[in-house]
Structure 1
Amino acid sequence: MIGYIRGEKQGQWDRGVIVDVNGVGYEIQMPSSSLAKLPPSGNELTIFTHLVWKDDTLSLYGFETIEARDMFRLLLGVSGVGPRLALNILSMLSAEELLQILAREEKKRLRAIQGIGEKTAARLCIDLKEKAKAILTKRQWDMESSPHIEQPGKGDLWDDALSALTHLGYGSSETKAALAMAFASAGESASLEDLVKKALQGLAKSRTKQA
């Protein structure tokens, strides 16, 4: 497996870029949104890659970040989603946006992407909803572990919800995990009441499983 490629940009076409590594030119297909951000030829690039071997043909797909590359791999695990469609999805949505959409099951936004119909949108949500929530929750935990990183876009709402749950007798660790899941599910536009309600539902399910 080729994890990443670092080399000099030699050229670019509508679906990808050519990178020279020690005299070998690698053709790497990329999301159109990423291609638009690449520097001119002659500059050094570092691209995180995924290798696909199909019908005796090797194809390299590249991404700006590890997160986008990992999202591409998740998409490939869904029935009916091939490399081209996965690349098209990530051309329209960032990895973070896609995770939020999947966690909230926003099928309408998925159907707005060329190549995704009702069945594929439903399949994406069914297969990836819980995985998306898990990734978002882990990121929340990572942010919680660093005292120098603030909760993005949450502010007082996060603090108020956390305080309400704590006063109900729930421990800090389980409360933060449940609240992170509530934010992923309801979105930042949700009210305090909605967030607390969803977090309580998550806490109840968690305790039921442990019983």
Structure 2
Amino acid sequence: MIGRLRGVLLEKQPPEVLLDVSGVGYEIQLPMSSFYPLPEVGQEAIIYTHFVVREDAQLLYGFADKHERAMFRLLIKVNGVGPKLALAILSGMSANEFVVCINNEAVSQLVKLPGVGKKTAERLVVEMKDRLKNWVGTDLLSPQAESMDMQNGLSNTLSINTAKDEAISALLALGYKPASAEKCIRNVYQAGMDCEDLIRSALKSMV
């Protein structure tokens, strides 16, 4: 299994990156909580990975640290939750916020995530509560992490329309419906926002 990769970021198109590792380009899908802390294109990054082999595809999912990957692996053990839905959940809220929702049985919060209906939310609460009893870990979306400057690079190279289009594409990849994604991006957009800023604000507004 491929558990960790270190290489140079060739492309960043949320929620996917292309990582050059000794001349081999790996396409990796990440939850937005792990996408935000990534360095700029052309710089070296370390990504912890989870490799999935299906009959029709081989997929690589990436995470900023083992903590985030551990939550992903717990999520995909839940009946009816696949890798795509797990990524959407970890993009809509941080791992620690998810733990709080589960402990408080906050079904009303969970159903706001794309692809999570009432039955799935209830199943998450039932199946995850015991597994998360002793959960301890860092939170990639803590206020300290959010205060980091995430605007360098992309904001200087992307036009407003391109930033909006890429943000909408990212939301679609995470499972949001086209009309909902477009409306949300339009509502949160402010002058000077780049693609990652738009996605972060959109996801916050939806939960």
Q: TM-score by structure 1 length?
A: 0.62
Relative contact order, higher structure (CA 8 A, sep 6+): 2
Shift of 1:65: 1.5
Partner AA of 2:42 in structure 1: G
Contact map agreement 2:35 2:64 (CA 8 A) in 1? no
Instruction: Check whether the contact 1:8–1:20 (CA below 8 A) recurs between aligned residues.
Output: yes
For these two proteins, the number of residue pairs brought into alignment is 137
User: Which protein has the larger Cα radius of gyration, Structure 1 or Structure 2?
Assistant: 1
**Deviation sequence 1:6-63 (CA, Å, 0-9, x none):** 1111111232101111000000001134323322211110111101111241100001
Structure 2: how far apart are the matches of 1:75 and 1:9?
Answer: 27
Percent of aligned positions with the same letter in both sequences? 45
Q: Does 1:83 align with 2:83?
A: yes
The residue identity in structure 1 corresponding to 2:91 is: S
RMSD: 1.4
Q: Distance in 1 between matches of 2:117 and 2:56?
A: 29
CA distance in 1, matches of 2:120, 2:99: 16
- Within 5 A, what are the aligned runs for 1:55-66? 55-66=55-66
Contact 1:100 1:132 in 2 (8 A): no
Helix, strand or coil: the match of 2:48? strand
Q: In the alignment, residue 83 of structure 2 is paired with which amino acid?
A: P
Task: Summarize the alignment of residues 59-138 of structure 1 with structure 2, pairs less than 5 Å apart.
Answer: 59-136=59-136
CA contact (8 A) 2:111 2:117 kept: yes
Work out the CA distance in 2 between the residues paired with 1:48 and 1:96.
19
Match of 1:120, SS state, is helix
The answer on whether the counterparts of 1:78 and 1:127 sit within 8 Å (CA) in structure 2 is yes
The alignment partner of 1:20 has SS state of strand
Instruction: Give me the whole-angstrom Cα distance separating, in 1, the residues matched to 2:70 and 2:36.
Output: 21
Encode CA deviations 1:112-139: one digit per residue, 9 max, x unaligned.
1111011000000110001111324xx6
Q: Which amino acid aligns with 1:133?
A: K
Q: Deviations over 1:168-189 (max 9, x none)?
A: xxxxxxxxxxxxxxxxxxxxxx
Q: What is the SS of the residue equivalent to 2:102? A: helix
Aligned residue in 1 for 2:24: 24
- Structure 1 residue runs of 4 or more that deviate by more than 3 Å after TM superposition: none
Question: What TM-score do you get using the length of structure 2 for normalisation?
Answer: 0.63
Tell me the secondary structure at the aligned position of residue 86 of structure 1.
Answer: helix
1 or 2, which has the higher helix percentage? 1
Output one character per residue of 1:155-200: Cα deviation in whole Å (capped at 9) or x when no partner. Answer: xxxxxxxxxxxxxxxxxxxxxxxxxxxxxxxxxxxxxxxxxxxxxx
In the alignment, structure 2 segments of 5+ residues that lack a partner are 138-207
